[in-house]
Amino acid sequence: MDQVEFQIRRSVEQVEEGTDLAPKFGADGLLPCITTDAETGEVLMLGWMNSEALKRTIETGEAHYFSRARQVLWHKGATSGLVQKIVEARVDDDQDAIWLRVRVAGSGASCHVGYRSCFYRAAPVGEDAGKPLKFTEEQKTFDPNAIYGDSPNPTQL
Amino acid sequence: MDQVEFQIRRSVEQVEEGTDLAPKFGADGLLPCITTDAETGEVLMLGWMNSEALKRTIETGEAHYFSRARQVLWHKGATSGLVQKIVEARVDDDQDAIWLRVRVAGSGASCHVGYRSCFYRAAPVGEDAGKPLKFTEEQKTFDPNAIYGDSPNPTQL
């Protein structure tokens, strides 16, 4: 396993058209990461990565994020067993976002509420704009209380 | 077409388990939006929305973003013709991220560099960590110079 070093961003051409990995983290040191099920294409979650999380993800082949709620590096699945194995990691044009295609261990869920995907509700659009959200998953895949116990809920108001 | 009003965030239960649309925008007034091809599941781009962009997206059924580079509301496709029609709009568990499944007009591209997806390069992981990025699309779908002319490139170093 190599140690990953990021390249310095020198030009738009290098960043957009080159083969250097030269990610741009935001003012808070984080960039967004889209994680999809490699088989179904379903978006499972949107997480955040700092430099260390991105390096460990690339080096280990398992998704690591930075928890904004807990302000710590987070090896996804360390508590729940629902580890995300990387099938493919992609970077976007200006290298300020990551897309991970993963296979999830265990039940295949990625959402702390218990659903498979964090995106389990649809907002009606167009003529139906303003109507209540509709659930797209009917059943939870696990009981969050059984997995996380008394850990504080990461959702912040 | 209804005017969309967002609900006030009152409790974790309301936000995670309810049918109220009560999005949480970041300190900069923005939230990230994942946009995928409704047919193939491919991630096309990660954009940003302010409150107005999200409302217009829901009301019109066409993706609107907030351009961080230009600091303006941005009706995707207004310049290029590559409008994104919403097939489904989803919100995540804590409602601080949006997932749009879209059909793209015209050539189907969504990337200002000319590729179909903004995520046209893969970063090798695990044993191959540290190796150069690999292109996953071989050809551009359009010539950015022909479409955007002298407009400033949105990529920032």
Amino acid found at A93: D
Do B135 and B61 touch, CB atoms closer than 8 A?
Answer: no
Contact B93 A112 (CB under 8 A): yes
Interval B9-32: pLDDT, tens: 999 999 999 999 999 999 999 999
Contact A93 B99 (CB under 8 A): no
What pLDDT was estimated at residue B86? Answer: 98
Relative to beta strand B72-75, strand B31-37 is unpaired
What pLDDT was estimated at residue A2? Answer: 55
Higher pLDDT: B137 or A62? It is A62
CA-to-CA distance for B81 and B75, rounded, in angstroms?
10
Do A149 and B3 touch, CB atoms closer than 8 A?
Answer: no
**Both structure tokens of A76:** 């996804």
Do B117 and B111 touch, CB atoms closer than 8 A?
Answer: yes
What pLDDT was estimated at residue B21? Answer: 98
Low-confidence ranges of chain B (pLDDT < 50): none
Give me the helices (H) in B2-150, please.
12-17, 51-60, 144-148
Distance from CA of B1 to the nearest CA of A (A): 5
Instruction: Tally A–B CB contacts below 8 A.
Output: 184
What pLDDT was estimated at residue B2? Answer: 55
| Chain A residues touching B124 at Cβ < 8 A | 58
> Cα A100 to the chain's mean position, in Å?
7
What pLDDT was estimated at residue A77? Answer: 92
What pLDDT was estimated at residue A147? Answer: 73
What pLDDT was estimated at residue A17? Answer: 94
| Chain B residues touching A125 at Cβ < 8 A | 57-59, 61, 86, 89
What pLDDT was estimated at residue A146? Answer: 78
Higher pLDDT: A106 or A23? It is A23
| Chain B residues touching A43 at Cβ < 8 A | 34, 36, 43, 90, 99
ipTM of the complex: 0.92
Distances (CA, A) of B14 to A94, B3, B7: 36, 21, 10
User: Which helix or strand (DSSP H or E) is residue A74 part of?
Assistant: strand A72-75
Do A46 and B97 touch, CB atoms closer than 8 A?
Answer: yes
Higher pLDDT: A153 or B21? It is B21
Residue in A31, A57, A94 to test binding to B, most B beta-carbons within 10 Å: A94
End-to-end CA distance of chain B: 40
- Does the structure show a pLDDT above 60 at A136? yes
Task: Report all structural domains of chain A as residue ranges with CATH numbers, in order of start.
Answer: 24-138 (3.10.20.810)
